[in-house]
Every structure is written in structure tokens, then in C-alpha cells.
Amino acid sequence: MTTTNRNITGIIFNIQKFSVNDGPGIRTTVFLNGCPLRCKWCANPESQLIQTQILWDQKKCINCHHCIETCPKNAMKIIDKSIKINHSLCSGCKKCVYECPKNALSAQGEQKSVEEVLKIVLQDQAFYEESGGGLTLSGGELLLQPEFSRELLLAAKEEGIHTCCETTGFATEETFDHVMEYVDYILFDMK
């Protein structure tokens, strides 16, 4: 078996502990950012971009426009009395989030290393052993971050943790095979 690169990073949307609907037993589900599909029924539309995404909450906003002044990439503008964020310009630095006086801005998606995610997953190892659970990778689509996904799955296998993934399979055959080598159980989402 190959040795893991636990320093490789990925963009994580959420980590959900004590998940019982994402594979057998009690699991920790790691939701990765990024999905090439734009399904109308998407459960996590805010995770579709592969980078950190800044979200604006109109109800909290006091229209001070400090976020616009603060953005080093000029990625924010006012359009029709709303703050619009150009995600192709946004670098994900989160300066606007940190400086918003009313917390009207939030960041979805955080860069984490395999080691950082694995530490969280290992906290519930006793539950996995008792219930037949383990780690589930979900998304977005885990196949958009194939190297990170593969390394996290391999690290889990090195720790004796059962692995599962929820995927649309939307990738090349080579990418699919490369990642799925370390998956014990696949939940395939047919589109």
C-alpha cells in the first residue's frame, strides 16, 4: 500500500459528525467543495464552486459598503441594492468577512489538509468500530478534488477506517478508478 501525503489540501464545505444516512453505521461525512453539475434539486448549492465562496446575508447587512472598500480584488459591487460577488475575481482571502461590522458576510469552503480532516474523523473511531461506520466523502463532487480525495481515503485506510463515498461519477474513467481504489462502499447518485 502507498504511503499518504497528509499535507495535501482540499477545500472542505462541511464536516458532519454522527451521520447515519451517508453509508453503513455511524459515520463522519466530509463534504468537499466543487461540483461540475448544476442540478435544480441540489442539496448544497452553496458548495458548487471549488474555491472558498463568500455569501451575503441581506437581512444582516446595514449597507455600510465597507466590504466593497475592503476587497483587494474589487470582486464586490452593488447591483440593484444588493451586494454581488464576482467569484471569478474573489481570491477567498476573507478580508471582507473579517471586517463586516454586522457579520453579513460568511465564507463557505475552507482549505484543510488531509491531516487536519483526519484528526476530526479519528475523534469518533470508537463509534465506527461499534457500528460498522467510518468516513464518507461527499460534496459537491469529490471527484473534482481527486488528489485530496484519494489521499484522505488512503489515510483513513491506513488508520483502519471503513471508507464510503457519495458520487455522481462525473469524471474521466481514469480519475474515477484512481480515487475509488480506496473506497469500500459507493453511494452512486444517478442524474
Q: Supply the pLDDT for residue 167.
A: 94
Identical fold at 9-39+110-188 and 52-108? no
User: What per-residue confidence (pLDDT) applies to 191?
Assistant: 65
Q: 130: Cβ–Cβ under 8 A, 6 or more apart, which residues?
A: 26
CATH number of 52-108: 3.30.70.20
Residue found under cell 442540478: 39
What is the pTM for the complete model shown? 0.82
9-39+110-188 homologous superfamily: Aldolase class I (3.20.20.70)
Burial profile 151-167: b = 16 or more Cβ within 10 angstroms, e = fewer: bbbbbbbeeebbbbbbb
Q: Express each pLDDT in 67-83 by its tens digit.
A: 999 999 999 999 998 89
Could you state, in order of their start, the residue ranges of all structural domains in the chain? 9-39+110-188, 52-108
Residue 1 has a pLDDT of 55
Q: Which pLDDT score, from 0 to 100, does residue 41 have?
A: 75
The pLDDT value recorded for residue 87 is 84
Predicted local distance difference test score (pLDDT) of residue 52:
82
Write out residues in the chain with pLDDT < 50, as ranges.
Answer: none
| CA distance linking residue 168 with residue 189, whole number of Å | 5
Predicted pLDDT at 32: 95
Q: Locate 126 and state its grid cell.
A: 470508537
